[in-house]
Amino acid sequence: MTRPLAYFEDPSPGFGALPPRAIGRTDAAQVDLSGTWRFHLAGSEDKAPEGFWDPDFDDAGWSDIPVPSSWPMHGHGAPIYTNVVYPIPVDPPRVPAENQVGDHRLVFDLPEGWPQTGRTVLRFEGADSSLRVWCNGVELGISRGSRLPVEFDATVALRPGRNVLAARVHQWSSATYLEDQDMWWLPGIFREVTLRHRPDGAVGDFFVRAGYDHVGGSGSLLLEAAEGVRVVIPELEVDAESGTPVTIPFVEPWSAELPRRYAAEIRSATETVAVHVGFRTVSIEDARLLVNGSPVLLRGVNRHEFHPRTGRVVPYQTARSELTLMKRHNINAVRTSHYPPHPAFLDLCDELGMWVIDECDLETHGFELQDWRDNPSDDPLWTDAYLDRMRRMVERDKNHPSVIMWSLGNESGTGANLAAMAAWAKHRDDTRLIHYEGDWTCAYTDVYSRMYAGVTEVEQIGKRIEAPLDDPGLDARRRAMPFVLCEYAHAMGNGPGGLSEYQRLFDTYPRLSGGFIWEWLDHGIPVSTPDGRAHYAYGGDFGETVHDGNFIIDGLVFPDRTPSPGLVEFKKVVEPIRFETQPDGSVRVTNRHDFRDTSHLAFRWELAIDGQHTDGGPLDLPVLRPGESADLTLPIFPPERAGLPPFEHWWTVRAVLAAETAWAPAGHEIAWHQGRTDDVIAERPFDADEPTAPVVVEDGRVLLGPAEFASDGTLLRVGDIEIGCPSLELWRAPTDNDRGKNPSVADRWERVGLDDLSHRLIRAGAYDHSYVVHTEVKPAGGTASMANTYRWQAFGNWLRLEITMLPEGEWTVPLGRVGFKLGLPAAWDNVEWFGRGPGEAYPDSIAAARIGHYTSTVDRLQTPYVRPQENGARAEVRWARITGHNGRGLQLHGEPHFSLTVRRWPTKALAEAKHTTDLADSGELHLHIDHVHRGLGSASCGPDVLPRYELNAVPLSFAVWLRTM
Ligand code: GAL
C-alpha cells in the first residue's frame, strides 16, 4: 500500500496564496517582521512539536534565530552540497522521513492605529523549501517555490496588539524535485517577511509597459492596473489612467550603459506606490538581439545568491557592492542563475545598469541521471507548480527595465510544462524574450541558448551554418534567432582559459550576442581547523554522504568576493574600448559600447623604460559614438631620438572614467593597451659572446666560474650560496581544469607517472668552456623518456644554463609544463621582476597581465584558490631577483624570458592539499623557472585547452642565466 502524501509532498504550489503581484515603495502601512524569531529544529515531522502554532504554545525551550536566515548557517544542522544528483532518494513527489522541520515563531505587536478597514497581507519573499503559516493559531496557507514571494491574507486572523506568527518550514518537499540547482541545500526563511496593509481601493497589481522608439526618440507608456489607477511621471508631465496608452515625444531611453530612470508614482484613491520607469524596447532583427534598435553584446556572469556567512541571505550592501564590482570589471549582464534574485537586486540592476536574464526557480537536473524518466517537466501532475513559479516571477519582476529576458529555468529537460510556462509568459508580457537552454530545438524560446559550446561550434552558429535540426520548420526558426552562451568559461579554480577566443567570435558575428561566465562567485563556507586556522569549506566538508566536492567553488570572485585572476582577465577581454596598434605605429581606438559615446572617458598615455615610468600625459581624442574608431598618434619619440640606451620601451594607453559614477571613482580604468617603441630582444645580461671561464676539474669537484658541481653533475653552490640543483619538471599540481575530463589530463599524468620523474645521470663532462650534463628523465610508470642536456657556461659571475629536451619513446600525454626547479633559502622573501604582472598569467589567460616592473613577496605571489592547485606563475619575465633582507639572493635573466613561480611548498604538496590550511612551509623556497606552461582551458566543465595552448612532448631547448648576489 502506498503511503498517503504528506502535505509538503503535494506537487501543487500549495494553498491560500493570494494572486502574485508587483510591489513598490508604498505609502500603505507596513511592518517589517525581520528580526529575532524563536526557532526549533526537528529531524523529522514526527519529532516536531505538536500545536506550536497555538498562540499560547510555550516556546521557552526553543532557541533564537534571525529571520531572514538559512538555519544551517546558524548552528542548526549543516549545509549539503550536490550538483546534479538529488540528495534524497528520487521518488517524486515523496521525500524521506528524515526531513528537517524548522519551526519558527514570532510574537509581535501590531502598531497602534493599524487601519481597521481594508485587508492585511503577510508576505514572505522566500522560504526554502516548504512553508506553512499560521497567525494566532489560524492557518493562512502553504507555499512552495523557495525563491519566489508569496502573500497570504491575514486580515481575519490578526488582532490589535499582540499577535503570534508561526511558520513551519521543511527541508525537503515536493518542491525539492523542482529545485535541484547546483548549490548548497540551505533551508530556512531566507528573505524578508512583511505585514502589509492593503487599503480598500489599493493600487493592486500594476504593469508599466514602457517602450522606446529609437527612430523618433519617443517613449510609449501603458499602465495595466485596476480601473481608476493612474501612473504619474512628473518629470515627463505624464498623468495617465490605466489602460490609456501615452506617447511621450521625447524620452531618454534606459540601457545598461545609460540606465536612465524616471521617478514615477502609481496612484489609486487610497494608495501611492513609488516606482521607477525605464523606457526600452527589446527586439530581434536578422538574428540579432537589439535593445532600442541597437545590437547588444552581453558581457555577462551567472550569479547565485550566496553569502559565505549567511548562506542564501545576501545583505543589500553586499549585493550593491557586488554589482559595483561587476560594473568595475566591464560586466554588463547577469543571468540570475537559477532562480529570481532578491527583489532589491533587480532595483540595483535598474539603477546601476545591468542587462538581466531573470530565471525562474526551476531545475530538475537530477532526472537526467535516469534519462529524464519521470521528469516533472513533462508530467501534468506538475503543470500547476510550473505555471505558478513562472507567474510569481513575472508578476513580481515585470516592471524592471533591466530584465530583458525571462528564463524558464535551468536544466530541466524538455516537456509540455516548460512550453506552458513560455506560452503563459509570452501572453502576459510580450515585451521580453523567452530564454531556456534545455531544449535545443528552441520550440518555445525566442533566443538560441547553449552552455559550454566550444569555439568551433560557436563560430558555426555565428556564421549561421550550424548543423540543422531534424525539423526544418524548427530549424528555420532557430536559425533566425540570436545566440547566447548562457554559460561558458567555467571559472573553477585556476582559469578559465580561452576567454579571448570566445570574445573574438562575439565581436565578429552579429548573431552572437555574447554570454555569461559560469559563474560569479565561489560558494565557500568559512570554517576552522581544530587548531583554529581558517579556510573555506566545500562539498563533503560537513559530512555529507552524497556530494560534489569543490565543484561549488567555481567563481570569478573568491567567497569573500575579492576578485580572482579570472575576473581580472575577463575585465580586460571584454573591455568596451578597444585599442589596436596599426602598422604605422598609430593606435586605433574603437568605441565598443553599444549605446554610449566616449565623452565620459579620459584617455592617457605613459611611457616606461624597463618598467620605470618616464613620461606621460593626456591624449586628445574626438568623442566617438558607439562603433566609431579614431587613430591616435602617440606623442612618443623612438628611443634613438631620445638618446636612451636600448632598454625595453613600453608605452601604455588607458581609457579611464573622466568623472565619478555611481559605481566607480573618477580615474577608474576601463581599458588599456601596451606597445613598444624599441625592438630590443631581451639582452643577455653579460656583454660577451663567448664564455669567460673554463671548466676546471679538481679533486673530484667541477668548478665553472662562480659555480661548483659534484662529479655526477649536481650543482652544489653558486658563489658561497647553496642552491638546489636544477632538474627538469614536466608536471604541475593539477588545476581543476586539468582534473576536468574523464579521464582527465591529471589522471593521465598520474597514470604515466609524470608526477614522479626519475632522473638518471648518463654522463657529465667538460667540453671546452661548457660543462655538459646528460640525463635521462623517465616518468615512473611509463616507457617514454626525455633525453636531457644541461649545458652550463660562465660569463663573469653569471651562469648560463641551457636545457635541451628530446622526447624518446611514445609520449601519450600532454605535459603540464616544461621547466626546471631550484631550491632556495626560505628567508629570501622578496621577489622583483620585469615582465608580465602584477597577477598570474598562463598561455590562454594572459590578456590582463601587463609588462612592468613589479615587486612582491613569496606569500603574496600565491593565489589562494579554495582548493589548492597550480597558481601564481608570472609570465614573460625578462629578469627577476629573489632576495633576503640583507639583499643577498639570486638573480635570473631570461633568453628572452621565462615564467616565474616561487612558493614555500613542493608541487606534490600543492597537488595533495585539499584546503589552503593543508599547505605548510617546507623550510625552503621552491623556485620554478618554466619555459612553457600548458594552457588552462575550461575542462572542469566544458572545452579543454585549445590546440594552440596544448603542450605536447616535442624537442625543446631554452636558456636561463643566473647569478647570486
Ligand atoms: C551547468 C549548470 C550550472 C552549473 C554548471 C557547472 O550545467 O547549469 O548550474 O552546475 O553546469 O558548474
Domain containing residue 899: CATH number: 2.70.98.10
Ligand 1 pocket check for 100: Cβ under 6 Å: no
Distance 890 CA to ligand 1 centre (A): 45
- What pLDDT, in 10s, does the model give residues 422-452? 999 999 999 999 999 999 999 999 999 999 9
Distance 450 CA to ligand 1 centre (A): 12
Q: Is the peptide bond before 68 cis (omega within 30 degrees of 0)?
A: yes
Do 147 and 52 share a structural domain? yes
Is the pLDDT score of 625 beyond 60?
A: yes
CATH at 442: 3.20.20.80
CA of 439 to the centre of ligand 1 (A): 15
Instruction: Give the pLDDT score at 768.
Output: 87
Q: What percent of the chain has pLDDT over 90?
A: 93
Contact predicate 484/447, CB 8 Å: yes
Is 90 exceeded by the pLDDT of residue 724? Answer: no
Q: What is the mean pLDDT of the chain?
A: 96
Residues 834 and 877 in one domain: yes
Q: Which residues contact 750 (CB under 8 A, 6 or more apart)?
A: none
State how far the Cα of 388 lies from the Cα of 19, in Å rounded to an integer: 10
pLDDT tens per residue across span 916-953: 999 999 999 999 999 999 999 999 999 999 999 999 99
* Range with the poorest average pLDDT among 363-377, 635-649, 689-703: 635-649
| Residue 793 falls inside a structural domain | no
Q: Is the CB of 83 under 6 A from ligand 1?
A: yes
Q: What is the distance between the alpha carbons of residues 487 and 515, in angstroms, rounded to a whole number? A: 7
Query: Best substitution site from 335, 339, 487, 548 to test ligand 1's pocket, by max atoms within 8 Å of Cβ?
Result: 487
Q: Could you tell me the CATH number of the domain that includes residue 88?
A: 2.60.120.260
410 CB under 6 A from ligand 1?
Answer: yes
Confidence of residue 644 (pLDDT cuts 50, 70, 90): low
Q: Which of 676, 711, 735 is the C-terminal boundary of a domain?
A: 676
Same domain, 247 and 290: no
Q: Given phi > 0 = left and psi -120 to 50 = alpha, else beta, which region is 353?
A: left
Whether 643 shows a pLDDT value over 60: the answer reads no
User: Does the CB atom of residue 182 touch ligand 1 within 6 A?
Assistant: yes
Q: Which of 160, 180, 198 is where one domain is finished?
A: 198
Cβ of 185 less than 6 Å from ligand 1: no
Does one domain contain both 308 and 395?
yes
Q: What digits encode the pLDDT tens for the residues 856-886?
A: 999 999 999 999 999 999 999 999 999 999 9
Give the residue numbers spanning the domain of 260: 207-280
CA distance 434 to 359: 10
Confidence bin at 646 (pLDDT 50/70/90): low
Q: pTM surpassing 0.95?
A: yes
Please indicate, yes or no, if residue 779 is contained in any of the structural domains: no
Q: Determine, yes or no, domain membership for 582.
A: yes
In whole angstroms, give the CA distance from residue 177 to residue 515: 28
**pLDDT tens, position by position, 452-500:** 999 999 999 999 999 999 999 999 999 999 999 999 999 999 999 999 9
Q: Are residues 304 and 271 in the same domain?
A: no
Q: Does the Cβ of 736 fall within 6 Å of ligand 1?
A: no
Kindly state the average pLDDT of the residues 266-290: 98
Residue 318 in grid coordinates: 553586499
**Confidence category of residue 1, pLDDT binned at 50, 70, 90:** low
C-alpha cell at 427: 501572453
Domain termination residue (choose one: 166, 198, 230) = 198
- Considering the domain architecture, whether residues 478 and 452 belong to the same structural domain is answered as yes
Are the beta carbons of 140 and 16 closer than 8 angstroms?
Answer: yes
191 & 224 share domain: no
Within-domain flag for 767: no
Q: What is the whole-number distance in angstroms between the Cα of residue 182 and the centre of ligand 1? A: 6
User: Sorting pLDDT into bands at 50, 70 and 90, what band is 638?
Assistant: low
Residue 954: is it exposed, middle or buried by C-beta count within 10 angstroms (0-12/13-18/19+)? Answer: exposed
CA of 301 to the centre of ligand 1 (A): 13
Residue nearest to atom 3 of ligand 1 (CA): 182
Q: Distance from CA of residue 116 to its chain's centroid?
A: 49
Tell me if 360 is assigned to some domain: yes
Residues 213 and 192 in one domain: no
Substitution site in 83, 338, 439, 490 for ligand 1 pocket (most atoms within 8 Å of beta carbon) = 83
Rounded mean pLDDT, 219-246: 98
* Domain total of the chain: 5
Distance, in Å, from the CA atom of 310 to the CA atom of 79, rounded to the nearest integer, reads 11
Rounded to the nearest 10°, the torsion over CA 843, 845, 849, 850 is 60
Q: Mind listing the pLDDT tens digit for each residue in 525-583?
A: 999 999 999 999 999 999 999 999 999 999 999 999 999 999 999 999 999 999 999 99
CB 485 near ligand 1, within 6 Å: no
At residue 682, does pLDDT exceed 70?
Answer: no
Is residue 451 lining ligand 1, measured as CB closer than 6 Å? yes
Q: Is 659 exposed, middle or buried (0-12, 13-18, 19+ CB in 10 A)?
A: exposed
What are 120-140's pLDDT values in tens digits?
Answer: 999 999 999 999 999 999 999
Any domain includes 750: yes
The closest of 720, 737, 672, 713 to 940, measured between CA atoms, is 737
Q: 89 burial class (0-12, 13-18, 19+ CB within 10 angstroms)?
A: exposed
Q: Which residue CA neighbors atom 6 of ligand 1 most closely?
A: 941
- Among 682-696, 775-789, 855-869, top mean pLDDT goes to 855-869
pLDDT over threshold 80, residue 641: no
SS3 203: coil
Residues 30 and 163 in one domain: yes
Let me know whether 107 and 226 are in one domain.
no
* Distance (Å) from CA 456 to ligand 1 centroid: 21
Each residue of 358-400: pLDDT tens digit? 999 999 999 999 999 999 999 999 999 999 999 999 999 999 9
- CA distance linking residue 213 with residue 221, whole number of Å: 11
Do residues 320 and 255 both lie within one domain?
no
Same domain, 460 and 555: yes
Tens digit of pLDDT for each residue in 92-112? Answer: 999 999 999 999 999 999 999
Determine, yes or no, domain membership for 45. yes
- In ligand 1, the atom with minimum distance to the C-alpha of 551 is 12
Residue 25 has a pLDDT of: 97
CATH of the domain at 649: 2.60.40.10
User: Looking at residues 296-300, what average pLDDT do you find?
Assistant: 98
- The finding on whether 411 has its CB within 6 A of some atom of ligand 1 is yes
| Domain membership flag for residue 505 | yes
